[in-house]
Amino acid sequence: MTERRLTPLARSLPASVPFVGPETHERAIGKPFVARLGANENVFGASPHAIAAMADTAPWMYGDAESHDLRGALAAHHDTTPNHIIVGEGIDGLLGYLARLFVEPGDAVVTSEGAYPTFNYHVSGFGGVLHKVPFRDDHEDPAALFAKAAEVDAKLVYLSNPDNPMGSWHRGADIVSAMDELPARSLLVLDEAYVECAPEGTAAPLPADDPRLIRMRTFSKAYGLAGARIGYAIAAPDLIREFHKVRNHFGLNRAAQAGALAALQDGRWLCHVQEQIEMARLRIAAIARDNGLIPLPSAANFVSVDCGADGAFAKAVLDGLVARGIFVRMPFAAPQNRCIRVSCGTDAQLDAFAAALPDALAAAKNL
C-alpha cells in the first residue's frame, strides 16, 4: 500500500468544510429548493453590464495575473493606489493567504464565538490556536476582542462589520476608537463583506495605509457575483506585497475580473440592489412578526430571526423549513443559535417562506 506522507497537522484535521452547500442538501432530499434563502447570495442579480462583460471574455485566455485594470479601478474607487489593493478568490481565498502568511503552529489568533467559520477553518489549517470571545447583545465586541488579543499576544484579530451571522453592526467611528486598545503586535482583519448593504458610516474611516489593519471586501454580496469568486483587500503596501509571495497568480479567471470591473462602474445597478435588499429585509421582518417571532435589526443582505427559545428549537424550525423546500441557515453558537438566518429574496421566494413558516413552527412546537 502506498504510504501517504502527510504532515502531522494535516493528519490531525477533520475532512470537513465550514458550510454544507445548498446543492448538497438538495441531493440529500432528492429535489431542488423552492426558495434558496440560506447562502446570502444576491438573488437580485449582477449588473447587466457585468454579465455582458463576462460573456464577452475569451475563455481560452488566462486572467491577468496582476488584475491590473481592476486594481486600478478599485484604487480610484477608494481614493488610494493599486499598491494598497490585492485581489483574490473571494474573501475566503484572501483569508487563506493571510493565514498562510501569518499563522504557524501554536500561534494565537482571536475571533468571536460563532463568527464567520471560514476564518477559523484557515487558521486551524495552519496550526493556529483560536481564542474566542462571546458576542455582546448580539454584536461582535471589539473591546473584548482587543483585550483578549493583548492577553494571548494574538497575531491576528478577526472582526466583521456588519457581522455574519447576526447582521448587527457598529459605526465605523466606534471601531476606530476601540482600536486604541488593539495591541501593537496584532493585525486587525476587518471583514466588510456586507458594508455596501449597511447604513452610511459603517465603514471604518481610516486611510488605506493604516498599518494596524487589513480590510476585506467582496463582489459576492451587493454586486451579485458570488459565483465568480472575486474579492479584494485594502492594506498598507508593505503588507500587500507579502500576498504576492504566496497567492495563486492565475487564480482569478478573466471573466471574473471583467465582471467585477463592470460591476464596480455601474453605480446605478448597485443602488437598485440596495433598494431591493432594504425592501426584502422589511418583508422578512414582517413575516417574522406575523408569526410571533422577533426579527433582529440587520445591515446585511439577510435577517436573523429570534425563534424565542433555544438552539434546539431553532434547529427544529430550520429543519421544518428545509423539509418544506425553504433553504435557510442558523448561527451555530449559543445564544445566537436561538435564531434562524434568512437571506433577502425575491417576492416569490419570500411568499414561499411566508407560506412554509407557520407549519414549520407548528411542527417544531410539537416535537
The set of cell numbers assigned to 268 is 446605478
Query: CA 167 to CA 163: how far, in whole Å?
Result: 5
> Does pLDDT of 184 surpass 90?
yes
pTM of this prediction exceeds 0.85 = yes
- pLDDT of the residue at 1: 62
Averaged over 57-81, what is the pLDDT?
Answer: 97
Q: How many Å apart are CA 145 and CA 291, to the nearest integer?
A: 36
CA-to-CA distance for 225 and 223, rounded, in angstroms? Answer: 6
Distance CA 57, CA 36 (A): 29
Integer Cα distance of 240 and 340 in angstroms: 37
**What is d(CA 196, CA 219) in angstroms, rounded to the nearest whole number?**
10
Q: Residue 322: phi, psi to the nearest 5? A: -60, -40
pLDDT over threshold 90, residue 336: yes
Q: State yes or no: pLDDT of 142 exceeds 70.
A: yes
* Strand 231-234, strand 213-218: pairing: antiparallel
Spell out the residues 6+ positions from residue 322 whose beta carbon is closer than 8 angstroms to its own: 25, 29, 328
Q: What angle do CA 156, 252, 26 make, to 5 degrees?
A: 85
Average pLDDT, the chain: 96
- Which residues are bridge partners to 343 per DSSP? 302
Q: Is 172's pLDDT higher than 70? A: yes
Spatial distance between the Cα atoms of 67 and 82, rounded to a whole number of angstroms: 10
Average pLDDT estimate for 71-94: 98
Domains with residue ranges and CATH for the chain: 19-45+268-365 (3.90.1150.10), 48-265 (3.40.640.10)
Residue pair 92/118 in contact by the 8 Å Cβ criterion: yes
Report, as an integer, the average pLDDT of 347-366.
97
Contact 64, 73 (CB under 8 A): no
